[in-house]
Structure 1
Amino acid sequence: MKKKVQIIIKNNNFKKEHKGQVVSVFRGYAFNYLIPNGIASLATKNQIKHYQMFSDIAKKEEEASSIATRKINHRVEQISKITIYKKIGDNKLIFGSVREKDIINWIYKYSNIKFEKKQIQINNIDNVNVNLVKIQIKQNIVVTIKLCIIPYNT
């Protein structure tokens, strides 16, 4: 009788192993703790093939996501500046303020890219000047664009 058995990890919180990884453990540990608690299952040829298929699909999806992110990043970096026209009053103050919604609408109008409000980071803009806008494409990819407020009077 073998002392160790091969198991497949079902979730990522088992030691430092990843989901779908094949590990050798002692029989008692496998049958008394890991398998009854749903942390692992016995490694059969079909189970290994099954988890391998899912890991391949996950890699392809991640690759496609990174390609799409790079395309969006490239298109956003091509925007040199965002120009918004606002009506002004006294002391170069604009009526209202420039909000994330204005920037999202401008980007969608001129580059057909949809962003969410939480991806746009701006300071409170209530006067006519040049400001910087940070657009967070992914968690670690941030693009900075110049925002020009141009006054007009009717």
Structure 2
Amino acid sequence: MAKRVSVVLNQSVSKLGNDGDLVDVAPGFARNYLIPQGLASIATKGIIQQVEVRREKERQLKLAEKQAAENKKVAFKTIGKLTIRKQVGEENAIFGTVTTQEIADVIKEQAGIEVDRRGIEVPDVSTTGNYQAEVKLHPEVIATVDFQVIPL
């Protein structure tokens, strides 16, 4: 069986690995394709150490982002109930529905917290009353926001 060569990928290569991965490939594949295209470098001690340092920095950055999301979640618990005013008809039925953009705007206006509307899940709101929406602040952090729909 042929020897394998260890290389560190400089870019993601489909069916092989992601940027920074240490992979074993055939010597011809490394010599004829990966290295000339700039997709990989031969794995030396120095390059492996650089990759480890970069991964540690990325891990620290992700940890800081998660902590910031946790802090926002705590802030959501302290703001209390948000109020959304909608035009109503018979039997307290609202015209239209409550959108994610309206929730994001009310959060920014009443709590001063910037939230991406694409991370908000709003239940079906057809009448006035109290509801809860889920706000995805981070892939691992989801906060709930209480809001009240009242007549305009």
TM-score normalised according to structure 1 size:
0.71
Taking the TM superposition and a 5 Å limit, the aligned residue runs for 1:107-122 are 107-122=107-122
Aligned residue for 1:114, secondary structure, equals coil
Q: Does 2:30 match 1:39? A: no
Describe the shift of the 1:7–1:124 C-alpha distance in structure 2 as closer, same or farther (beyond 3 A).
closer
Q: Where is the strand percentage greater, Structure 1 or Structure 2?
A: 1
> In 2, are the aligned partners of 1:14 and 1:39 still within 8 Å (CA)?
no
Describe the shift of the 1:13–1:43 C-alpha distance in structure 2 as closer, same or farther (beyond 3 A).
same
Return the alpha-carbon distance in structure 1 between the equivalents of residues 102 and 54 of structure 2: 42
Describe the shift of the 1:69–1:6 C-alpha distance in structure 2 as closer, same or farther (beyond 3 A).
same
Shift of 1:50: 3.2
Describe the shift of the 1:106–1:22 C-alpha distance in structure 2 as closer, same or farther (beyond 3 A).
closer
Return the alpha-carbon distance in structure 2 between the equivalents of residues 101 and 20 of structure 1: 38
Taking the TM superposition and a 5 Å limit, the aligned residue runs for 1:16-35 are 17-35=17-35
Aligned residue for 1:50, secondary structure, equals helix
Identity of aligned residues (%): 26
> In 2, are the aligned partners of 1:9 and 1:18 still within 8 Å (CA)?
yes
Q: Does 2:140 match 1:145? A: no
Describe the shift of the 1:149–1:47 C-alpha distance in structure 2 as closer, same or farther (beyond 3 A).
same
Matched residues, number: 150
Taking the TM superposition and a 5 Å limit, the aligned residue runs for 1:1-154 are 5-13=5-13, 17-86=17-86, 88-94=88-94, 97-151=97-151
Q: Which has the larger radius of gyration?
A: 1
Deviations along 1:119-139, whole A, 9 cap, x unmatched? 222245342222232222223
AA of the residue aligned to 1:109: E
Shift of 1:93: 3.1
Deviations along 1:72-110, whole A, 9 cap, x unmatched? 122223344323344544332346653333322322233
> In 1, are the aligned partners of 2:70 and 2:141 still within 8 Å (CA)?
no
Q: CA RMSD, aligned part only?
A: 3.1
Question: Is there any run of 5+ residues in structure 1 with no aligned partner, and where?
Answer: none
